[in-house]
């Protein structure tokens, strides 16, 4: 059974059709990269998968494991194991990272019909996850993302991912706004979370992230469709030649 199976997916934002028939299959443990020029529909794809309001699916289907993903609310999708690492993690004033993450973690436990974790139990879990990632859990004492640097925000996303242990992680332009040192740190975190079970969908404009997170498959998204699929070498080809020939202008 595939983790994710997207067939002929069409989606609108407002009146505009952005996704125009996407087909994509991801197996357990696979890392797929979706690359594309600005405006190709990359972020729309990630929001449609995560279930954001305002993104209207007009045709096609998305199966996650054996569930019709499009039938679920955003929070239900997350609790089934879909995790979206945001391109621009949102600042949430007044809510500490610890409160936020514990609420998220317990939501999953409730969803699965299990007992909630108490504060001490959860603190231990977070500390050990942070340690595995070579991070400090200090940032969780502060309000979520408030005043964080670009690098801190992205690392916070990775720490959340480590705690919530998704089956499918969607990384939306995780490299944007990062210098090379921060990029390496974040990529190390992502690599530490790769397992034979966990699948990843990496959405990026630039090839450089893929120097650090090696994908099994690379797809080129342009004009709302996957134009070409291949292995790692496709990313290098794009790096050399750009998206000319895919964006409909060339």
Residue 38: name the closest of 173, 187, 155 by CA: 173
The verdict on 164 binding other proteins (CB under 8 A) reads yes
Residues in contact with 39: Cβ distance below 8 Å, sequence separation at least 6, in sequence order: none
Where do we find the tokens 């279930």?
A: 51
Residue of 58, 61, 111, 195 interacting with other proteins (CB under 8 A): 111
First CA to last CA distance, the chain = 38
The verdict on 90 binding other proteins (CB under 8 A) reads yes
How many residues line the site for other proteins (CB under 8 A)? 31
The verdict on 92 binding other proteins (CB under 8 A) reads yes
Which C-beta is closer to other proteins: that of 73 or that of 132? 73
Instruction: Compose the 50-79 pattern: x for residues touching other proteins by CB under 8 A, - for all others.
Output: xxxxx------------------xxx--xx
Separation of alpha carbons 202 and 149, rounded Å = 22
Strands (E), the chain: 4-13, 16-26, 31-35, 55-64, 67-68, 82-85, 168-172, 199-204, 217-222, 225-230
Separation of alpha carbons 154 and 178, rounded Å = 9
The verdict on 43 binding other proteins (CB under 8 A) reads no
Residue of 89, 189, 215, 224 interacting with other proteins (CB under 8 A): 89
The verdict on 101 binding other proteins (CB under 8 A) reads yes
The verdict on 100 binding other proteins (CB under 8 A) reads yes
Which residues here bind other proteins, judged by CB under 8 A? 50-54, 73-75, 78-79, 83-84, 86, 89-90, 92-95, 99-101, 103-104, 107-108, 110-111, 143, 160, 164
């Amino acid at each position: 059974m595939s983790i994710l199976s997207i067939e002929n997916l069409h989606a609108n934002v407002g009146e505009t059709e952005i996704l125009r028939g996407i087909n994509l299959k991801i197996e357990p443990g696979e890392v797929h990269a979706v690359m594309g020029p600005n405006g190709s529909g990359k972020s729309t794809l990630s929001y449609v998968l995560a279930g954001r309001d305002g993104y209207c699916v007009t045709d096609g289907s998305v199966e996650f494991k054996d569930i019709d993903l499009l039938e679920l609310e955003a929070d239900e999708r997350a609790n089934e194991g879909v995790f979206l690492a945001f391109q621009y993690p949102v600042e949430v004033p007044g809510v500490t990272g610890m409160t936020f993450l514990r609420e998220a973690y317990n939501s999953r436990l409730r969803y699965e019909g299990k007992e909630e974790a108490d504060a001490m139990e959860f603190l231990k879990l977070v500390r050990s996850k942070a340690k595995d990632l070579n991070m400090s859990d200090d940032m969780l004492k502060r309000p979520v993302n408030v005043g964080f640097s670009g690098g801190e925000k992205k690392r916070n996303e990775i720490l959340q991912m480590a705690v919530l242990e998704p089956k499918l992680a969607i990384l939306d332009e995780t490299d944007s706004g990062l210098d090379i040192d921060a990029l390496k740190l974040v990529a190390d975190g992502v690599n530490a979370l790769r397992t034979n079970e966990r699948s990843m969908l990496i959405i990026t404009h630039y090839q450089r992230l893929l120097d650090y997170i090696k994908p099994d498959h690379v797809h080129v998204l342009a004009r709302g469709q996957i134009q070409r699929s291949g292995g790692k070498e496709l990313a290098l080809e794009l790096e050399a030649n750009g998206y000319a020939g895919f964006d409909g202008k060339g």
